[in-house]
Amino acid sequence: MLDTTQRFHRLNVARIAAAAVLIAGIPMVSGCKNPFHRRTVATVSPVAKPASQTAAILPVDLTKVQPNEAGMVPILEYHDLVNTAKATGYQYSSAAFRKDMEWLYAHNYRPVSLSEYVQGRVDCPAGMSPVILTFDDALKGQFYYTPDGKIDPTCAVGILDDMHARHPDWPLKGTFFVLTNGDPKLPPAFYQDQYAQGKMEYLVKEGYEIGNHTIHHRAGIRHWSDDQVMAEFAGAVKNIQAMLPNYNVNTLALPFGVYPKNQKLVIDGQSGGVKYHNICALLAGAGPVHSPMSKDFKPYRMQRIIPGNEKFAIKYWLDWLERNKADKYVSDGDPNTFTVNTISSGKLDPAKIAKAHLHLRTYNGTTVASAK
Ligand SMILES: [Zn+2]
């Protein structure tokens, strides 16, 4: 059954590389994997609601931290992890994943919540840079129990648990775009049917998020009727909520990057008595995303970065952000404020800031505008 899923996800890294030439105006490669399907989607305003917050905010010397919350953030897109030396995009080695996490930690990245990021609530310590971790398809290498009932230390959840244990300031945050046992032709969630619900509950309890990745994972959705499309999105919500009652499924990764003809259905719809509302839709390739308060931030066209050693994969973009510090997001440590330097403040969208009820300031403490 693994091969069935794998066939859906053949990467053509060269195509992605060709698409990702410039950081500004990078051609959009829609959806979870398939670089052949480029789509445009109508620009939609972010749905910004105040998120629940947060730990006590300690006084921060902003002139030392020099926050740049108009900067860009990498969203990493992982699929399976395997215990082999090969490191490809779809089946990435556990050792390479661990190395990625350690590199991020050493370079002052900390994971943040995708849903909070989209809504402008970036909960990241002062001076640190947000990174968003995503995992598609509920694969074995993401979350697996060994025969003795322990979490496999080489799966993604096991490695992230270890990261958190050794680095307590590395929070357990990330989004799992799951396939939800709704299609008998696909493998069960995380390849262990008997643990599917327990794993979902564990992930949410630990601080991860669960996202919509449809029921059937089919590219043909672009030819489907509105009713069929809504049944696919709402059905995935229903299946997730069967395991996680009342869980708010509000993030979406489109399989193959294929949008339905009626692109508004990515945002809202209903079927079978189940309503859905997505605050964002994630793409594949290639490059970091803009600040959620930027004029250029498009919540329904959020790009991701694939793993691997190829050009325009993870190493390329993380190195790019190190070389281009002015474009790298640096947090002020307070999710309720948005701190920028006076130059980068011009990149921000006042309407988005007002909608998110954020306090905007420069890093010398001067209030640029207040949107209370
Ligand atoms: Zn997928």
The CATH code of domain 2-40+56-61+74-323 reads: 3.20.20.370
| Alpha carbon of 8 to ligand 1 centroid (Å) | 7
Query: In this model, does residue 20 exceed pLDDT 70?
Result: no
Query: In this model, does residue 49 exceed pLDDT 70?
Result: no
How high is the pLDDT of residue 363? Answer: 75
How high is the pLDDT of residue 9? Answer: 42
| Alpha carbon of 35 to ligand 1 centroid (Å) | 13
| Alpha carbon of 316 to ligand 1 centroid (Å) | 23
Three-state SS for 298?
A: coil
| Alpha carbon of 23 to ligand 1 centroid (Å) | 25
| Alpha carbon of 214 to ligand 1 centroid (Å) | 9
Report the range out of 137-151, 307-321, 329-343 with the highest average pLDDT. Answer: 137-151
| Alpha carbon of 158 to ligand 1 centroid (Å) | 21
- Among 13, 20, 175, CA closest to 87: 13
| Alpha carbon of 137 to ligand 1 centroid (Å) | 5
b/e map of 87-119 (b: 16 or more CB within 10 Å)? bbbbbbbbbbbbebbeebbeeebbbbbbbbbbb
H/E element, 166 = helix 156-166
| Alpha carbon of 180 to ligand 1 centroid (Å) | 12
Q: What is the pTM of this model?
A: 0.84
Report the amino acid identity of residue 12. Answer: N
| Alpha carbon of 139 to ligand 1 centroid (Å) | 10
The mean per-residue pLDDT over the stretch 347-365 comes to 84
Q: What are phi and psi of 158, to 5 degrees?
A: -65, -40
| Alpha carbon of 282 to ligand 1 centroid (Å) | 11
Three-state SS for 76?
A: strand
| Alpha carbon of 302 to ligand 1 centroid (Å) | 15
How high is the pLDDT of residue 64? Answer: 87
For the segment 86-106, what is each residue's pLDDT rounded down to a tens digit? 667 789 999 999 999 999 999
Domain boundaries, the chain: 2-40+56-61+74-323
For the segment 161-194, what is each residue's pLDDT rounded down to a tens digit? 999 999 999 999 999 999 988 888 899 999 999 9
Lowest mean pLDDT among 64-68, 84-88, 349-353: 84-88
